[in-house]
Chains A and B, each alone.
Chain A
Amino acid sequence: MRTLPVQPVLAALALLGLLGFGWLAVAPNRLVSGTALSSFAALHFWVAAVALLLVAAVPISPRRPALACAALLAALGVALWASGAAAPPLLEGMPPAARVMAGPGFWLFLLTLLLMLTEAARPAAALRRTMPLVLLAMLAALWFGGALDALSLAVEYRARAPQLQDALLRHMLLSAAALALALVLFVPLGWWGFRASRAEAVLGTTLGLVQVVPALALFGALMPLLGALLRAVPGLREAGLETIGATPALIATALYAGLPLWRGIVVGLGAAPRDLVEAAEGMGMTSRRIDWELRVPLGLPIFLASLRVATVQCIGLMTLGGLVGAGGLGAIVFEGMAQFATDLILLGALPVILLALFVDGVLRLVEGRLARWRQ
């Protein structure tokens, strides 16, 4: 039967990025988009090396996954290194504020190449674990070796490093706090919902409605609502509650994360098949034992999956915290949007995405480990 193979199509897309769109752009300062530069003009003969490695990886991909990964990693490494090396000569004779930024072709290439790498590593389990580590090591070597220093994202990073590190730390703390708040609030409610079907109906509907409210509206509405609350009960202000800052961000994020957590608990506790519960009863297990020895372990994969979804949501939603003065990576994104500064937007947005992907990946690993008994 005819099929549309993955790697050749992705390789064609990567080549389109490499050859068809602007690879780099040279701009007089960080706020304008500058003049586009093709990969030929930027990378010279290295383009050929990148293209060759890329094309060579395609036919060997299904049978020699390790070799294909190596070729793709090499293509990526050469492309990044050559781009970094191309920047200083381009900046010669330009004003000090001038920048060399990545163009749309670069981003298309990068994205499709990462997809190709994932696809190439798929057939071999060992490769699926090592490839990301090798990729990270290579990127770290390029970054810390200074190969990319002349590109605008690195320049922007150097100008903002302390601020970015603070924002990242604050983002993680706020997300963790929101998750903790959601856990404290909604795990007991989930247990209650499992025990009482009436509670389940009411809570499920309410949390479902919260989910429909757009995040921006909830973040926005919490400020006047908290304002009214604090005017009515001034004592809460002393307790550390505020109308702007962390308070509304934490409340809103925790409310959104509530639904997946709550549903995970309710569904997870109900995951133990009826006949198993009956067998346990028939053997003389007390209902407390059945909860802890049957319902909780059998629901664990579902609890963990819902925890993962909730955590990723917390990290993403906390970005809006930047809007209500809570700080975090969102504040950097908003500053970048206000200045229309691409690099600053990326500087805020990329860590959010990477953090979410990282947490997602780690929790998936844990999920796989814990459920040894499922095939």
Chain B
Amino acid sequence: MAAMIRFAGISVNFGDGAGLRDIDLDVPEGALCVLVGTSGAGKSTLMRLVNRLVVPSAGTVTLAGKDIATRDPVELRRGIGYAIQSVGLFPHRTVAENIAIIPALLGWEKRRITERTDALMTMLQLDPALAGRYPHALSGGQAQRVGLARALAADPAVLLMDEPFGAVDPIVRRALRRELAAIHRETGKTILLVTHDAEEALELATLLVVMREGRILAQGSPLELTAMAADPFVRELLGGAGLPLRRLDLLHVRDAVRPGEPEAMAPEIDADASQLDALRLMLEHGATSLVVTEAGSAVGALRFADLDGRGRT
């Protein structure tokens, strides 16, 4: 697949040692690319290169095959959705007005703007009664949803999200994360997301990029990066001692199932469940194997030894 965003030979020099060095990265169209790293690693800087909030000292950024340096920054930015941790809702504009900012900038017709706003509020499960409220009246989770709606308003092909769920409690955070994953699946937008939360990164990413001190340390799918061979810093960042469990969460029961009979009285698990759920079930029942079912009928067995693909080698 063609690269939607391509960073080639990028360096950013802030003159204080921070910045970016020798970045090469291709984000394929339709990817959900998560930049993860400790604070100061340069994740946000890398992301902000895309809408030219940061200008590289060397190298080029291309968006859909065009060098962004040749494009007018204002026009460029209007075509890119942007959501940030503090949400950045305009306090003097209502919820509906906030969502409509970019469409209004683009000169959409009034009716089209209203329709789009309504549709987005429905999609993000925002109560229509909130449309006329000012941001101070919103809860943290609602504000994040409005911020996301605003970023999506003009239907941009690319979405940049800087710690978009940083300021909400864990439960709302999980719900928002699930919604973002769903939106990504449905719309196929290319999303570049910055976070320092490894769990979030592993759950969302189709392409995971680990950064440290202005460099890319590793990139690949979550499964690739959680594999045993990865760099020790990457392992530490992505979960340390808990990494095997997080990895199990990424794997499906379906991938480890074997034909044959499990031991008697084994509990049942659906083929679409994660292997972490399977392990949980085994621990709960003191079992070493599970009956794997699909649409209610048994299709095989899952043995403890097969978890995380260990049985296959």
Residues of A that sit less than 8 Å from B by CB: 273, 275-276, 278-286, 289, 293-294, 297-298, 372-375
Inter-chain CA distance A297–B160, complex, in Å, is 27
Inter-chain CA distance A298–B136, complex, in Å, is 14
CB within 8 Å for A276 and B76 given contacts A282-B82, A283-B101, A375-B136: no
CB within 8 Å for A284 and B102 given contacts A297-B92, A373-B91: yes
Query: Looking across the interface, which residue of chain A has its beta carbon closest to that of B72?
Result: A284
Beta-carbon contact of A283 and B134 below 8 Å: no
Contacts of A294 in B (CB 8 A): 90
Beta-carbon contact of B134 and A279 below 8 Å: no
Beta-carbon contact of B82 and A279 below 8 Å: yes
Query: Looking across the interface, which residue of chain A has its beta carbon closest to that of B78?
Result: A284
Beta-carbon contact of B74 and A278 below 8 Å: no
- Least Cβ–Cβ distance between B112 and chain A, in angstroms: 18
Chain B 64-92 near chain A by CB (<8 Å), digits 1 or 0: 00000000011111111010101110111
B77's partner among A284, A293, A373, A375 (CB-CB below 8 A) is A284
Residues of B that sit less than 8 Å from A by CB: 48, 51, 53, 73-80, 82, 84, 86-88, 90-93, 101-102, 105, 134-136, 150, 160
Contacts of B88 in A (CB 8 A): 275-276, 278-280
Beta-carbon contact of B82 and A275 below 8 Å: no
Inter-chain CA distance A375–B136, complex, in Å, is 7
Beta-carbon contact of B77 and A374 below 8 Å: no
Query: Looking across the interface, which residue of chain B has its beta carbon closest to that of A275?
Result: B86
In the A-B complex, the 4 residue pairs with the smallest Cβ-Cβ separation, listed nearest first, are A279-B88, A284-B77, A284-B78, A282-B82
CB within 8 Å for A282 and B51 given contacts A294-B90, A297-B92, A373-B91: yes
Contacts of B90 in A (CB 8 A): 276, 280, 293-294
Contacts of A293 in B (CB 8 A): 90
Query: Looking across the interface, which residue of chain B has its beta carbon closest to that of A300?
Result: B92
Beta-carbon contact of B74 and A284 below 8 Å: yes
Beta-carbon contact of A298 and B160 below 8 Å: no
Query: Looking across the interface, which residue of chain A has its beta carbon closest to that of B102?
Result: A283
Beta-carbon contact of B105 and A283 below 8 Å: yes
CB within 8 Å for A284 and B53 given contacts A278-B88, A373-B91, A373-B92: no
Contacts of A279 in B (CB 8 A): 82, 84, 87-88
- Least Cβ–Cβ distance between A271 and chain B, in angstroms: 11
Most buried by B among A283, A289, A373, A374: A283
Beta-carbon contact of A283 and B136 below 8 Å: no
B78's partner among A278, A283, A298, A372 (CB-CB below 8 A) is A283
Inter-chain CA distance A285–B73, complex, in Å, is 10
Inter-chain CA distance A223–B84, complex, in Å, is 58
Beta-carbon contact of A282 and B92 below 8 Å: no
Beta-carbon contact of B105 and A285 below 8 Å: yes
Inter-chain CA distance A40–B190, complex, in Å, is 88
Inter-chain CA distance A273–B84, complex, in Å, is 13
Contacts of B105 in A (CB 8 A): 283-285, 289
Contacts of B91 in A (CB 8 A): 276, 298, 373-374
Contacts of A289 in B (CB 8 A): 105
Contacts of B134 in A (CB 8 A): 372-373
Contacts of B150 in A (CB 8 A): 283
- Least Cβ–Cβ distance between B215 and chain A, in angstroms: 25
Contacts of B82 in A (CB 8 A): 279, 282-283
Contacts of B78 in A (CB 8 A): 283-284
Q: List 13 A-B contacts (CB under 8 A).
A: A273-B86, A278-B88, A279-B82, A281-B77, A282-B80, A283-B78, A283-B150, A284-B79, A286-B74, A298-B91, A372-B134, A373-B93, A375-B136
